[in-house]
Structure 1
Amino acid sequence: MEKNLFREVYKQVCGLALKDCPPSSLSGLLHGYLSVYSMVRVYPWLEDEYGSLWDIHDRIREIARVIQELLKDKDIPVDTRAGYVVDLMDAYLLYSDMKFLDVALDTAYEILIPKGSDKIVLPCRTPNICRLLCNCYYFTGEEECGLLAKNLVTEALGASRKFSCEDLYDWWGGICFYEDVVGVVELSEEEQVRLNEEQIRLLSSVEQKEDLKLESFQQIGQNVDIGLLVAVFYILAKREFEGLNKMCRQIY
């Protein structure tokens, strides 16, 4: 069911002009394509369904360039700007364009270090800032960034039961990002246990929220909003890749 829906959504997304895509949806679009790229790279026979690696790669570069332009606007909210920086860093990991990384790191430290200071000061305590710190730690090895990201994750775990549904969904991405980039090695044994317990609890809520989006998309039909289309694309691309990996592990 979801596989057929994903194919349908992918066709729609491939025909989407970036100028018609709201800035708030660019991150989901980028990461959906990153999942598709990973699928085709790991399982080359999928090129027949999703296109060549080069075509997907080119689409990711196109999206990254739009995000790079958005970063020039210093008047956008700092949390939004931090999200764009992380998106550009994620695109760099695939595309390896040093201009992307240079712009992203310059903007990251512009966000984190107030003018005239040489110390990191968090402008807000959000999932995007957490992701920003994780990537700064990854690319520069600066331990303070890893420590600050750990503190944000610990705070989020402590407050997770009070989160709204939207906050819960956003922080789930931030927490998973921390685990992937910085790793649980930075956490104490007690914090690692807590992280594992909370992830099990949060996963169910996150999947329910995603399922609701899929249901809404299918009910609306042809006149779907671009934001919802992109959100569904990101969810299905991620699930499709996870499903393929799980199936292959069972086979081998």
Structure 2
Amino acid sequence: MEKNLFREVYKQVCGLALKDCPPSSLSGLLHGYLSVYSMVRVYPWLEDDYGSLWDIHDRIREIARVIQELLKDKDLPVDTRAGYVVDLMDAYLLYSDVKFLDSALDAAYEILIPKGSDKIVLPCRTPNICRLLCNCYYFTGEDECGLLAGSLVTETLGLSRITSLEELVAWWNAIGFYESVVGEMEVPVEEQRRMTEECVRWAVRVQQWEDEITKCNLGALESLINLFYVLAKQKFAECNSLYGKMNIEI
């Protein structure tokens, strides 16, 4: 990574007014800040470069409140609304405001359980729905949510229906989330091996997408936020590589 590129991008992002950010960019903005928060929390001397942990924390809360308001619109496309739910749950893991979690869980089950029913019915089979199921499993412990998420993962890896790099990256993130939250519950060994091999192939295309993002024009707002999201993840990985061993020794 170019030495000063992330600092330049971070400075620009910190100056953004959330009212000027398209709703579709808020997830990338939130998760970029979550990466920065994690980086500064683990390596506190980085506060000199990226601001205090509290300031980053406050920015994440600000973004989450905007998402919480957007979530109130029940006429949104179901996949868009599912994405907002997951973002709010991700913010809760840091901010621990139970109002965020309550709002998110209420919306999650409105999405997953049709009115008048008591059974989960998937409204669509998208990365956001997969992440939603994983989070419901994490917060409620319902095995059915974990199993349904697993079925979406194996189905996606087994089909050649992904038509764009953006969709592949969204599934890549969802699958990584599934592996960290749900694990490989009740997945046969042969299926686990196939999933691993497929993910190795996907990694090459995800890297291609990230390389393309880093070449985007910084003048476009959504391009800036996408770049921030990608660079923040890369910077955190870079810090882990540079300082991880030292951190363990300390």
TM-score (norm 2): 0.95
What residue is the counterpart of 2:222 in the other structure? Answer: 227
The residue aligned with 1:180 is 180
Give the corresponding residue for 2:5: 5
Decide which moves more: 185-194 or 169-178.
185-194
Match of 1:212 in 2: 212
Q: Is the 8 A contact 1:64 1:91 kept in 2?
A: yes
Residues 6-41 of structure 1, C-alpha deviations (whole Å, 9 max, x = no match)? 110000000000000000000000000000000000
Question: Is the counterpart of residue 240 in structure 1 residue 235 in structure 2?
Answer: yes
Matches within 5 A, 1:28-177: 28-160=28-160, 162-177=162-177
Structure 2 residues not aligned, in runs of 5+: none
Confirm or deny that 1:15 pairs with 2:15: yes
Residue 202 of structure 1 corresponds to which residue in structure 2? 202
Bigger Cα displacement from structure 2, 169-178 vs 112-121: 169-178
Deviations 1:72-113 (A, max 9, x none): 001110000000000000000000000000000000000000
CA distance in 2, matches of 1:123, 1:11: 39
In the aligned structure 2, how far is the partner of 1:44 from the partner of 1:11? 19
1:163, distance to aligned residue in structure 2 (A): 3.8
Distance change in 2, residues 1:3/1:155 (3 Å): farther
Amino acid at match of 2:118: D
Amino acid of the structure 1 residue aligned with 2:232: A
Of residues 160-169 and 58-67 in structure 1, the stretch that sits farther from structure 2 once superposed is: 160-169
Cα contact 1:3–1:240 (8 A) shared by 2: no
Residues 127-160 of structure 1: CA deviation (Å, up to 9, x unaligned): 0000000000000000000000000000111025
**Is the contact made by 1:108 and 1:132 (CA closer than 8 Å) also made in structure 2?**
yes
Structure 1's unaligned 5+ residue stretches are none
CA pair 59-177 structure 1, distance change in 2 beyond 3 A = same
Q: Which runs of 4+ in 1 moved over 6 A?
A: none
240-249 vs 16-25, greater mean Cα deviation:
240-249
Q: 1:120 to 1:206 in 2, by over 3 A?
A: same
Q: How far has the Cα of 1:192 moved from its partner?
A: 1.5
- What is the CA–CA distance in structure 1 between the aligned matches of 2:96 and 2:40, rounded to whole Å? 18
Cα separation, partners in 2 of 1:66 and 1:122, compared to 1, 3 Å: same
Cα distance in 2 for partners of 1:33, 1:104 equals: 20
For residue 213 of structure 1, report the CA deviation from its aligned partner.
1.4
CA distance in 1, matches of 2:186, 2:93: 23
Q: Structure 1 CA distance, aligned partners of 2:34 and 2:12?
A: 17
- How far is 1:5 from its partner? 0.7
Work out whether residues 113 and 121 of structure 2, in 8 Å CA contact, stay in contact via their aligned partners in 1: yes
Between the two proteins, the alignment pairs up a number of residues equal to 247
After TM superposition, give the deviation of residue 195 of structure 1 in Å.
1.8
Alpha-carbon distance in structure 2 between the residues aligned to 1:229 and 1:30: 13
Structure 2: how far apart are the matches of 1:128 and 1:2?
32
CA RMSD in angstroms comes to 1.4
The whole-number CA distance in structure 1 between the counterparts of 2:164 and 2:216 is: 20
- Per-residue CA distance 1:50-76 (angstroms, 9 max, x = gap): 000000000000000000000000111
TM-score under structure 1 length normalisation: 0.94
Kept after mapping to 2: 8 A contact 1:150/1:186? no
Deviations 1:210-231 (A, max 9, x none): 11111123xxx5xx11111000
Whichever structure has more helix as a proportion of its residues is: 1
Query: d(CA) in 2 for partners of 1:5 and 1:45?
Result: 19
